[in-house]
Amino acid sequence: MSQQQDRHFRPGIMLFPIRKYMSRPQHDFINTNVKRGMTALDLGSGPGFFTTMLSEAVGINGTVHAVDGDKAAVTRLQNRAGALGMVNIKAYASSAASIPYIQSKSIDVLFSNGLLCCMLDHRGAVDEMMRVMKTGSRGFISVTKLFRKDGLGVPKDEWKEITRSFDVVDSGSSVVMDWVVVSKPGDDKNEL
């Protein structure tokens, strides 16, 4: 019997243009919260569908760290960023539960769209989010409802527990996903 591993999608599927019409909360978050000169983290970036939007939003004086566990997706992102002249993107192939190359309290804005429902170590990823975000920084976190029962998905009770790690600024739900806009609380907030 094989051991379950993190879920990866073909990079081309993740760049399908129709996604822009299915991503209103994500676009609203980027347009409202990402500013020039910021340091952003796209955790679970895939081949960079949202990474390039974040890159444009932070501008040449900002930085976007893009992390994905799929080396093929990261290679695709690096090639796209190079072709688009986006020199402010730093892409890494690694688990979201272990990102030691990103300094603690260095991230102004976090973006994690659909990551948690594609990996085994949800708590490890959330702990890393908390470690790298600056106090008061904003983040967008979403999970799909489609994979809730397959061992990688995020069940409703766990989703509630995860969101309690942060100060929730806004939240929403659609047929396929749950999402939150969060703020990192001060260091005195109780850990789970």
Q: For residue 191, which of 165, 158, 159 has the smallest C-alpha distance? A: 165
- pLDDT over 50 at 4, yes or no: no
What b/e readout covers 111-140, taking b as 16+ CB neighbours within 10 angstroms?
bbbbbbbbbeebeebbbbbbbbbeeebbbb
Domain assignment present for residue 56? The answer is yes
Residue 70, helix vs strand vs coil: coil
- Distance in angstroms (rounded) separating the CA atoms of residues 52 and 25: 17
Instruction: Check: CB of residue 26 under 8 Å from CB of residue 39.
Output: no
pLDDT digit string, tens, across residues 41-64 = 999 999 898 999 999 999 999 999
What is the number of domains present in the chain? 1
Q: What is the structure's pLDDT at 83?
A: 96
Instruction: Check: CB of residue 147 under 8 Å from CB of residue 119.
Output: no
Domain assignment present for residue 190? The answer is no
pLDDT digit string, tens, across residues 78-118 = 999 999 999 999 999 999 999 999 999 999 999 999 887 66
Domain assignment present for residue 35? The answer is yes
Q: What is the mean pLDDT of the chain?
A: 84
Instruction: Check: CB of residue 90 under 8 Å from CB of residue 64.
Output: yes
List the CATH number of the domain containing 143. 3.40.50.150
pLDDT digit string, tens, across residues 162-171 = 999 999 999 9
Roughly how many angstroms between the first and final C-alpha of the chain, as a whole number? 33
Domain assignment present for residue 188? The answer is no
Domain assignment present for residue 64? The answer is yes
Domain assignment present for residue 36? The answer is yes
Question: Ranked by mean pLDDT, which of 121-125, 146-150, 161-165 comes out on top?
Answer: 161-165
Domain assignment present for residue 38? The answer is yes
Instruction: Check: CB of residue 97 under 8 Å from CB of residue 91.
Output: no
- Distance in angstroms (rounded) separating the CA atoms of residues 3 and 81: 34
| Model confidence band, residue 18 (pLDDT cutoffs 50, 70, 90) | low
DSSP letters along 113-156, please? ES-GGG-S-HHHHHHHHHHHEEEEEEEEEEEESTTTTSSSS--H
Residue 14 tokens read as 């993740």
State the residue range of the domain holding 31.
17-183
| Residue scoring higher pLDDT (39 or 120) | 39
